[in-house]
Amino acid sequence: MYLFEKIKKIRPPNKEIQNIAKQYLDGLTKPIGSLGELENIFIKLCCIFNTLDFDISKKNLLIFCADNGITEENVSCCPKQYTYVVTNNFAKGITAINKLSEFAKNDITIIDIGIDAKINNKKILNYKINYGTKNFIKEPAMTYDECIRAITVGFEFIEKLKKKGYRMLGTGEMGIGNTTTSAAIASCLLNISPEEVTGKGAGLDDNGLINKINVIKKGIEKNCVDINDPIDVLRKVGGFDIAGMVGAFLGAAYFKVPILIDGLISSAAALVAYKINSNVKDYMFASHLSAEKAAKIILDYIGLHPILNLNLRLGEGSGCPLAFNIIDAGIYTLRNMATMEEANLNIDVYVDIRK
């Protein structure tokens, strides 16, 4: 299959420019390494683009929207219909992610990859794989073919956006029940208990959390999930939204476009992509540390440091525009501040300034 042939070709970016970038940063009027993660981000972007003179001014946030059959098991305090409602609100431009994106000046691409309703809105792109996934405590969430098609949707969107001139991307999602699918994926791929990675999501009480954990356990056992096969994990206990983001992360690495992870759900997708080809890590940036308990475990496992920690747990891609602002500020600063020589700090011989 052509998709897997491309995935196998994903390689780390050219690290030769890393020393050149560091030498440039060390020559600026500041103590070496004193701008911390801003310098690390700059160097990582230099490696991705293989130049110090890159342009990431045109950005896009992909929001993958889909329903999850597992909501039949009362794992969320929100009704399934909210997926449809909130997705349409994205198109109206009235949600938090719309306003954050307006401020950051990034575009938004809204993708129906599996909403359990017919959508008739030109602002919502129809790439529906099916009308939601199946209830994974009864059967696999999706067929193998559905899973691959969903991954392919995300992968091919990266190519389309790159051809349109976008040079930095973010990931977001909408899908009631997707903290359950994310926790199930994390439990399998990290080989740890559901208790360690399952949170209350949109506001479950303690009894709801216990039910959610038990549902995940039953689903993993029922489907005989192969924890050593990320595709098997994804298709049996995942969701179309997560599969689309998996494809986006893989596509970003293949087409050499930097891409931001949002919160728990996109972190779960990043974990699947990392398990498929670990080289994707070099193209990923963690926008923030989600308040959901599995988020830090996943990012630590991949080896990514979150840019922000604001106790967010909204999803939708909300961390990405905030991180876009930080990244832009860092690049602007590092490109426009003076060098040591220009700042008269490159003095080899002590001069008594009291004279």
How do residues 213-267 score in pLDDT, each as one tens digit?
Answer: 999 999 999 999 999 999 999 999 999 999 999 999 999 999 999 999 999 999 9
Amino acid at 23: Q
pLDDT recorded at residue 340? 92
Where are the chain's structural domains?
A: 59-334
Provide the Cα torsion 262, 173, 290, 267; round to 10°: -60
pLDDT recorded at residue 349? 44
Distances (CA, A) of 63 to 124, 149, 279: 10, 17, 23
How do residues 85-122 score in pLDDT, each as one tens digit?
Answer: 999 999 999 999 999 999 999 999 999 999 999 999 99
pLDDT recorded at residue 350? 45
pLDDT recorded at residue 2? 85
pTM for this predicted structure: 0.95
Q: What is the DSSP string of 297-332?
A: HHHHHHT---SB-------TTTHHHHHHHHHHHHHH
Of the candidates 204, 262, 225, 254, the residue with the CA atom closest to the CA atom of residue 64: 262
pLDDT recorded at residue 346? 59
Distance CA 286, CA 320 (A): 9
Identify the bridge partners of residue 259 per DSSP, sorted by sequence position: 169, 284
CATH architecture label of 59-334: 3-Layer(aba) Sandwich (3.40)
Which residue positions in the chain have pLDDT lower than 50?
349-351, 353-355
Identify the bridge partners of residue 260 per DSSP, sorted by sequence position: 170, 285
pLDDT recorded at residue 262? 98
| Catalytic site positions | 316
